Amino acid sequence: MAEKGEPIRVLVVDDQELFRRGLTMLLGVDPGIEVVGEAGDGFEGTTLAETTAPDVVLLDIRMPKRSGIEACVAIKEAVPSAKIIMLTVSDEEADLYEAVKSGASGYLLKDSSIDEVAQAVRVVADGQSLISPSMAVKLIDEFKQMSRPERENVPGLRLTDRELEVLSNVAKGLNNRDIAKNLYISENTVKNHVRNILEKLQLHSRMEAVMYAVREKLLELP
C-alpha cells in the first residue's frame, strides 16, 4: 500500500491499446498517481503485477488469453495487497457479480470520466469499495434474487443494529465519508464497524459482506 504522501502505484491492463495508452497518459498527470506498467492481456497483466507490486490494478473484463475475471483471481493470489478495479464496457450483472466474488474492490464502466477513475483509484487504495451507481442498483437486484442456503445458524455471527445500518449503506455503494454523514458518526467509527463486520463474518471485502448479509436475511434491501 502506498505510504502517506507517496503516489498510488497503478497498473493498467486492457487489450485496447488506444484506450490503455490514453488512460495511462491521463492518470500520469495526477500527482497522486504513478502508473507503474501497462499490459494488453490477462497473462501479461498478472506477470507485471508480480514484478511491479502495484497498489491498484485497473482491469478490463473482456481480454484475450486470460479474461479480466481470471486475471483478477490470479493477481489477488500473486499480490494479495493489490486492489482491483474492473474498468469495462460490460454492464452485465453477471460480470459484476463474478468480479466481486473474485475479489475486485471496484467496478466502473468505461464511460466514466478520468476524474471518476482517478477518484476510484484513491478510494479503493484506501481500502474502500467503489461501484458505478448504475451498477450498484443492479448488484442490489442480484442480492435480492439470492436464495438463502439451508443451514444451521452459526453462533457468534450476529451483527449489531449499527453494523447492519453500516452494511445497508455499503450496499448502496456509499463510501465511508457518506456513510458517516448519514449515520452521524465519524469516518473512523465507520471503518471500525466495517472491520468488525468482516471479522465476524470471516470475509475479505465489503461487497462480500453485503452478499452474505442479504443471503442470510440479515439485511433487507429496499
List, for residues 187-210, the tens digit of each pLDDT value: 899 989 988 988 888 877 777 777
Domains and CATH numbers, the chain: 8-140 (3.40.50.2300), 153-215 (1.10.10.10)
pLDDT over 50 (residue 127): yes
Question: Going by DSSP bridges, is the β-strand pair 56-59/33-39 parallel, antiparallel, or unpaired?
Answer: unpaired
Task: Look up cell 461501484; give the residue.
Answer: 131
- Which pLDDT does position 208 carry in this prediction? 75
- Which pLDDT does position 177 carry in this prediction? 87
Contacts of residue 59, Cβ cutoff 8 Å, sequence gap at least 6: 13, 14, 42, 45, 68, 71, 72, 75, 84, 85, 86, 87, 104
| Residues 147, 150, 154: CA angle, nearest 5 degrees | 110
Distance of alpha carbon 17 from alpha carbon 163, whole angstroms: 44
Judge contact between 42 and 65, C-beta under 8 A.
Answer: yes
Distance of alpha carbon 190 from alpha carbon 214, whole angstroms: 20
Tens-place pLDDT, residues 7-23 = 999 999 998 988 899 99
3-state SS class at 64: coil
pTM of the full predicted structure? Answer: 0.69
Rg (CA), the chain: 17
Cell of 18: 488506444
